[in-house]
Amino acid sequence: MTEAVKNSFPPGPQGSTFAFIFGERRRDPLGFFTKIAQEYGDVSTLKLFNFRTLFLNHPADIEDMLVNKARSLEKGRVMKANMRLFGEGLLTSEGDFWLRQRRLAQPAFHRARVAAYGSTMVEYAERAMRTWRSGETRDIHEDMMQITLQVVGKTLFNADLARDAREVGETLEILLQLAADFSKSILIPLWVPTPRNLRARIGIRRLERIIYRIITQKRAEARDTGDLLSMLLAVQDEDGSRMTDKQLRDETITLFLAGHETTANALSWTLWLLAKNPRAERKFYEELDGVLGGRAPSVEDIPRLTYTSQILSESMRLYPPAWGMARLVKEPVEVAGYKLIPGNGIACTQWVVHRDPRWFDDPLKFIPERWENDFAKKIPRFAYFPFGGGPRQCIGNSFALMEATLILATVAQKFRFRLDENHPVKPLASITLRPAHGIRATLEAR
Ligand code: HEM
């Protein structure tokens, strides 16, 4: 942390813009940012063309970025590049428009409302497991992606998505892949007809067709059918205005994409970490057997699944599904002791901060017990921030934690996962942190 306000930027890695784009940062962003934090400390400068980005590694500075100075900042370039896809959805919109949408959407994420989705989450995990056989080897990441996609589809639309499920699933896959590509390379606006952009446009149109059809159906039904979309249709602002179809389209696509892969990643990394840590795995099974005794979990069981919750916290510490965050400066502001002007960037990454030995003993080890006795309250607020923070904190935070806990408890009651040691498991830092080649494991009935 710095004390006096500085006009000049702190040091950072040297090198040409070309090397920056095509070199280590692109090949191995996690290693790149880790090295910069080690070499340059809590604040450094990343340069790309004429853009300067302040790279922050101290929790107090990250709090400055995400909470104290949030009003002077907006979302970073990668998010903006994805505007065509997300439109003016919660993830990408700004200012008064964002605030109004956030207020309208918030009731759909209230605890009681979210709790009602618990049985859907368990049901979809059980449904997926019906096709699983003891002794077979599967890509468990693919399985987690399928389950969370269906959960989001059902809880968002409550529509009989069965006939659309495949098309929605395939389209989302295309779009997620494209979103990930956008974040890795030079940003070519979607209106430029590159082959990739043309694929993106077709994908977006397909998804829009389905979404607009469902919106029309729901408007005609004109009743709250328990899902997020019907609730968003019903909510009104203080002035009585409601969301337009375009706004609903943007929010729906945003929630679909923001809510599906992140939670799947959390689940996949957790199953992988458990399979690699037999002691924690045993303790986890003991908790499941003690609390559930073989029956399906429900929302009411969650407060008693304390070790499960510590496992998830620890898994998201080591493998944060959203691994980095960025902002653009929109008005002159001081952050982390440096004077910034419009156009400057600010970035931080959960990957680096969550592995900092100043806050976590043995930071690279998977130790769920470290979260006992309110450990989270004893470390700086932004030493651990898998869901971001400040006004733009993840709206799906409790939805995701509940979903991950229930799906984890459901699948682990029935199966143990034995990793295929010949299959390489490596994190790929695209928009989210996913296993690059999936995770292959042999199922063993418990
Ligand atoms: C483990 C799962 C999840 C993780 C790690 C995660 C992480 C995050 C993070 C870090 C942000 C802040 C981004 C920023 O400030 O730049 C965010 C925002 C957001 N997330 Fe999540 N998320 C998860 C699940 C979900 C789910 C399940 C949903 C919806 C059903 C969701 C919807 C959103 C939305 C709409 C925003 C934008 C909020 C705003 O700016 O007002 N997320 N998420």
Q: Mutate which of 56, 109, 147, 394 to test ligand 1's pocket (most atoms within 8 Å of Cβ)?
A: 394
Residue 64 amino acid letter? D
Q: How far is the CA of 391 from the centre of ligand 1 (A)?
A: 12
- Percentage of the residues of the chain whose pLDDT score is greater than 90: 58
Residues ≥6 apart with Cβ < 8 Å to 157: 214, 227, 229
Residue 428's pLDDT band (boundaries 50, 70, 90)? very high
Residue 108's pLDDT band (boundaries 50, 70, 90)? confident
Residue 2's pLDDT band (boundaries 50, 70, 90)? very low
Cross-strand pairs, 130? none
Q: What is the mean pLDDT of the chain?
A: 88
Q: Is the pLDDT of residue 162 over 70?
A: no
- Tokens 């959203």 locate to 322
Ranked by mean pLDDT, which of 120-124, 162-166, 246-250 comes out on top? 120-124
Domain locations in the chain as residue ranges:
17-445
Give Cα separations from 388 to 171, 391, 392 (angstroms): 27, 9, 7
Q: How far is the CA of 395 from the centre of ligand 1 (A)?
A: 6
The answer to whether the CB of 311 falls within 8 A of the CB of 280 is yes
Is the minimum distance from the CB of 335 to ligand 1 under 6 angstroms?
no
Phi, psi of 443 (to 5 degrees): -85, 140
Give Cα separations from 14 to 11, 40, 46, 47, 392 (angstroms): 9, 12, 8, 8, 32
Residue nearest to atom 6 of ligand 1 (CA): 387
CATH tag for 17-445 (out of 3.40.50.300, 3.50.50.60, 3.40.50.720, 1.10.630.10): 1.10.630.10
- Lowest mean pLDDT: which of 165-174, 222-231, 275-284? 165-174
Give per-residue pLDDT as tens, 109-142: 888 888 989 999 999 999 999 999 999 999 999 8
- Pairing assessment for the beta strands 51-56 and 345-349 based on DSSP bridges: parallel
Is the minimum distance from the CB of 13 to ligand 1 under 6 angstroms?
no
Is the minimum distance from the CB of 255 to ligand 1 under 6 angstroms?
yes
Q: How far is the CA of 394 from the centre of ligand 1 (A)?
A: 4
Write down how long the chain is: 446
